Amino acid sequence: MLSGEIPPQLGNCTAMEILGLASCRLSGSIPRELTNLKSLSMLNLQRNQLAGVLPEEVIAGCRGLQVLSAADNLLEGEIPPAIGGLMGLQTLNLANNSFSGLVPPELGKMTD
């Protein structure tokens, strides 16, 4: 089983389409270098100990995401409005974190 922090060098894997790191005992923050993963369709970070914010620039950079799961972590701050720009998003799971503020109205503008 993996543990420790998500290596920022994963951002160099620009052809990666699926990044599944669920239940790996990961800690620390989500590296902003994941912004470079333009081909990513699935990002699964659930059931770890990730802390800090869900970086807006990572969401905005991964425009092709269909699945985004960061449930069961220690994430805080506001839910990034950029999620509303993920037009192909089919699954969003951010449960069991410590997000604050309102659900961004941009999420209500998503269409099929």
Number of domains in the chain: 1
The whole-number average pLDDT for the span 80-86 is 94
Residue 68 lies in a domain: yes
Residue 103 lies in a domain: no
Q: Is the pLDDT of residue 79 over 90?
A: yes
Residues β-bridged to residue 28: 50
* Contact residues for 82 (Cβ-Cβ < 8 A; gap 6+): 56, 57, 59, 60, 106
* Arithmetic mean of pLDDT over the chain: 94
Residue 112 lies in a domain: no
pTM, two decimals, is 0.93
Residue 34 lies in a domain: yes
Q: Is the pLDDT of residue 112 over 70?
A: no
Residue 65 lies in a domain: yes
Q: What is the pLDDT of residues 24-35, one digit of tens each?
A: 999 999 999 999
Cβ atoms within 10 Å, residue 42: 18
pLDDT value for 109: 78
CA-CA-CA-CA dihedral for 32, 15, 12, 85, to nearest 10: -10
Identify the three-state secondary structure at position 3.
coil
Q: Indicate the pLDDT class of residue 110, thresholds 50, 70 and 90.
A: confident
Alpha carbon 68 to chain centroid distance?
A: 6
Can you list the positions of beta strands (E) in 46-90? Answer: 49-52, 67-69, 74-77
Residue 27 lies in a domain: yes
pLDDT value for 107: 86
Looking up residue 48, the CATH number of its domain turns out to be 3.80.10.10
